[in-house]
Amino acid sequence: MTAPCLHLIAGARPNFMKIAPIVRALQADGRLRWKLVHTGQHYDRNMSDVFFEELGIPAPDVHFNCGGGSHAVQTARIMEAFEQHIANDRPDAVVVVGDVNSTLACTIVAKKAGIPVAHVEAGLRSGDMAMPEEINRIVTDSLSDWFFVTEPSGVDNLRREGQAEAKIHHVGHVMVDNVMYQAELLGRSDTTGFPTDAVKRELQANGGRYGVVTLHRPSNVDDAANLAAIAGALKTVAADVPLVFPVHPRTRGTLQKAGLDLGPRIHLMDPQPYMSFLHLWKDAAVVLTDSGGLQEETTALGVPCLTLRENTERPITIEEGTNHLVGTDPAAIVAAARQVLGAGAPPARKPALWDGQAAGRIVAVMAGDLL
């Protein structure tokens, strides 16, 4: 009998760091076959290819070019391409990660074709239906057959939604597997070629501190007035501590259209490869972000994080980790930054099972069920 085959779905930048440890765990376990499907949701070299190279992900077996477009257009294109793909090459199960449009699109198509779906990073809920990701999470979880959960809130949410206990597996977090693996690798790497290295050296000269910013949530960056308000707060913070800001394509669009100037103490850069960015943020005095993943990665490495959103689907990072939910009111952002910079990093606990072994647990469950 040939081994069951999983198709792993990778579409957008935040998927790639979750796929890498799953691939490693499948290789180490050796009992299941697998293929990698890239939907092409993210397509720029610096949003996609560099991540495959640096994170050691093999080239995708299949690549659709489904990037750009509105949500409906992007989702529909991925659904069409994936339906055709599984009609020719039917997997025994599909593995989706996170909450991007590719996650949603492939889940719906697989289920309608009668193929079971495993959702990695299941059960997270922000309660905010204005977030496209929240809709993607709810639909994906309403259809999935395996829920691989990162934190206790995810288990509670799935139970509340009536999911069967046997489908819920609290395994820890594959993204933490990845950041631990890459941080260890970084310790042995020559960092001098990284685009962030020169700016980091300059800012750290004479014991200097710096902060790191990322922003890309539509609610923060699509509207020029919202982005201008946050930019004003960042300029005030930057008067205390210089900031480095790798700018997402969505955000760059609004900054340019609105002609927003962030001043001389906020250093703007292109989106960074994983290792160059890790080299930068792991030694930051504070990270200001609206990313989901970075809230967790900063907790994993004990770096103070201010989340510029009104809610988070990752409450463990606040309860046990280094994250503070600050919102987007400019005065609140400035006050929180001053507080964190004045207090130094608080001692933080690592959430349960955030130990670098989550992907191995996932593969063990799936192999146990499929073989």
Residue positions annotated with a catalytic role:
216
The residue ranges of DSSP E strands in 262-325, in sequence order, are 266-269, 286-289, 305-307, 323-325
Which amino acid is present at 371?
L
CB of residue 104 to ligand UD1, shortest distance in Å? 8
Tell me the closest approach of the beta carbon of residue 313 to ligand UD1, in angstroms: 11
Report the residue from 4, 132, 152, 195 that binds ligand UD1 according to the rule CB under 6 A: 132
Binding characters for ligand UD1, 198-217, by CB under 6 A (x = yes)? ------------------x-
Span 279-318, contacts to ligand UD1 by CB under 6 A: none
Q: Residue 143: which H helix or E strand, with range?
A: helix 132-143
Question: Which residues, 60 to 99, sit near ligand UD1 by CB under 6 A?
Answer: 67-68, 99
Q: Which is nearer to ligand UD1, 43 or 302 (CB)?
A: 43
Task: State the nearest-atom distance from the C-beta of 254 to ligand UD1, in Å.
Answer: 11
Q: How far, in Å, CA of 366 to CA of 72, rounded? A: 31
Among positions 28-67, residues that touch ligand UD1 (CB under 6 A) are 41-44, 47-48, 67
Does residue number 223 form part of the binding site for ligand UD1 (CB under 6 A)? no
Q: Min. distance of Cβ 43 from ligand UD1 in angstroms?
A: 5
* 212 three-state secondary structure: strand
* Residue 29 burial class via C-beta count within 10 angstroms: exposed 0-12, middle 13-18, buried 19 and up: middle
Structure tokens at 87: 């009609």
Q: Which is nearer to ligand UD1, 85 or 216 (CB)?
A: 216
Number of neighbours of residue 97 by Cβ within 10 angstroms = 27
* Binding residues with ligand UD1: total (CB under 6 A): 20
**CA distance linking residue 329 with residue 255, whole number of Å:** 19
Which among 295, 223, 234 is positioned nearest to 267, based on CA atoms? 234
Distance linking the first and last C-alpha atoms of the chain: 10
Residue written as tokens 């933490």? 176
CB of 107 to ligand UD1, least distance (A): 13
Q: Shortest distance, CB of residue 248 to ligand UD1, whole angstroms?
A: 6
Residues 224-253 contacting ligand UD1, CB under 6 A: 248-250
Nearest residue (CB) to ligand UD1, 126 versus 153: 126
User: Which one of residues 39, 101, 140, 307 is an interface residue with ligand UD1 (CB under 6 A)?
Assistant: 101
User: Closest Cα to residue 365, out of 191, 221, 190, 172?
Assistant: 172
Our CB check for ligand UD1 shows the closer of 14 and 315 to be 14
Vertex 13: Cα angle to 7 and 16 (nearest 5): 40
Sign of the C-alpha dihedral computed for residues 291, 294, 299 and 305 taken in this order: negative
3-state helix, strand, coil in the chain (%, to 5): 50, 15, 35
Task: Tell which one of 7, 13, 170, 279 touches ligand UD1 (CB under 6 A).
Answer: 13
Q: Which is nearer to ligand UD1, 4 or 132 (CB)?
A: 132
Binding site for ligand UD1 (CB under 6 A): 12-14, 41-44, 47-48, 67-68, 99-101, 132-133, 216, 248-250
